[in-house]
Amino acid sequence: MSHDATERAGAAPALTITDVAPRDGLQNQAVAISTDAKVELIRLLARAGVRSVEATSFVSPKAVPQMADASDVVQRVSRQHPALRLSTLVPNLKGLERAHAAGAAEIAVVLSATETMNQRNINMGLAAATAVSEQTLLRAAELGLRTRAYVAVAFECPFEGVVNADTVLDLACRMLEAGAGEIVIADTIGAAAPAAVKARMSMLAQAIAPDMLAVHLHDTRGLGVANAWAALEAGVRRFDASVGGIGGCPFAPGAAGNLATEDLVLMAEQCGLTTGISLDELLDAVEFAESLLGRQLGGRSSAWLRRRRERQRAAA
């Protein structure tokens, strides 16, 4: 049953949340994270009820050393959590072949919406980057893999400023035509505001089925949850988030942490939406990530959530 049919039937609207902390959250950390620790973080997310995780990326270990163990992570998590929807980022056909050899069932490509961001990120222009993403998606389909396609810097680019909505629409449609099963519109540097998010996602939903659209939000200016609500109003029900709010693109100056999964889940719960995710158990994943990175983490609601959990435990 589609989200729209579920809502018409009177059930609480459901959100699908992909936690990207194991990939986007950890990729740029100065502290080396062991494979065991990554697998444990994913286990805690799964225990909390997270059903979709972006686990790693098959990029060059020289470019992103933190992701050098991508094959091991995929193989171990796939064995331990066969029901978990496990996505891996691949930059090109070479990365795709590595992911396929490791047993990945779903891959994601990332296409930036501006010439300069692609040059800084992958050393090729927009046209070439688009072609590589299309080729990778087509090959993934031949291999029988599920696919996602990110359109990055879809609202504002750190080098070129505000991005034209028609450019985002064109790139999203090209990724769809190449076989992407989900189109993820990314506010990579956290520059969007709710009005822009609602307008852009509403426009995209006219050309792409809302069930195939997702948003990837950052909380740089404190508008992450507000932007998520704006996307909800536009009909979007798929969201990326990162437990503890960790993350930030290493190639995008000014990109702060992702929208925290716990903030998104709390907002959903208090607005009558379902996620299937336990906030208390999500806090266990936040605290584990804190132990890995050696600093306090958590979204804007984290302190309140921890106090609430302490009160509940004291009253039990």
- pLDDT tens by residue, 256-300: 689 999 999 999 999 999 999 999 999 999 999 999 999 999 999
The one catalytic residue in 157, 173, 249, 271 is 249
Q: Residues 268, 49: contact at Cβ < 8 Å?
A: no
- Residues in CB range of 90: below 8 A, 6 or more apart: 57, 58, 59, 96, 98, 99, 107, 108, 109, 136
Q: List pLDDT tens digits, range 83-139.
A: 999 999 999 999 999 999 999 999 999 999 999 999 998 999 999 999 999 999 999
User: How many residues are listed for the chain in this entry?
Assistant: 316
Residue 264 backbone phi and psi in degrees, to 5: -65, -45
Average pLDDT over residues 154-174: 97
In a domain, 5, yes or no: no
* Residue 256 confidence (pLDDT): 62
In a domain, 3, yes or no: no
At 33, is the secondary structure helix, strand, or coil?
coil
Rounded to whole angstroms, the Cα distance separating 79 from 215 reads 29
In a domain, 231, yes or no: yes
> Count of domains in the chain?
1
Checking if the pLDDT of 6 tops 60, the result is no
If one compares 1 and 192, the residue with the highest pLDDT of the two is 192
What is the residue-averaged pLDDT of the chain?
A: 93
In a domain, 41, yes or no: yes
Checking if the pLDDT of 8 tops 50, the result is no
Rounded to whole angstroms, the Cα distance separating 190 from 248 reads 10
- The range of the structural domain enclosing residue 131 comes to 12-315
In a domain, 6, yes or no: no
* Residue 9 confidence (pLDDT): 46
In a domain, 167, yes or no: yes
In a domain, 4, yes or no: no
Q: Which of 224, 138, 150 is nearest to 185 (CA)?
A: 150
* Residue 275 confidence (pLDDT): 97
Average pLDDT over residues 159-166: 97
61 is written with which tokens? 């270990």
Whether pTM > 0.85 for this model: the answer is yes
249 is catalytic: yes
Kindly state the percentage of the chain with pLDDT values over 90.
89
Q: Residues 282, 241: contact at Cβ < 8 Å?
A: no
Q: Residues 48, 15: contact at Cβ < 8 Å?
A: no
In a domain, 7, yes or no: no
Chain Cα centroid distance, residue 39: 18
CATH number at residue 17: 3.20.20.70
What is the greatest pairwise CA distance in the chain?
Answer: 60
- Phi-psi domain of 164 (left: phi exceeds 0; alpha: psi -120 through 50; beta: other): beta
Rounded to whole angstroms, the Cα distance separating 142 from 240 reads 26
Q: List pLDDT tens digits, range 205-257.
A: 999 999 999 999 999 999 999 999 999 999 999 999 999 999 865 555 545 68
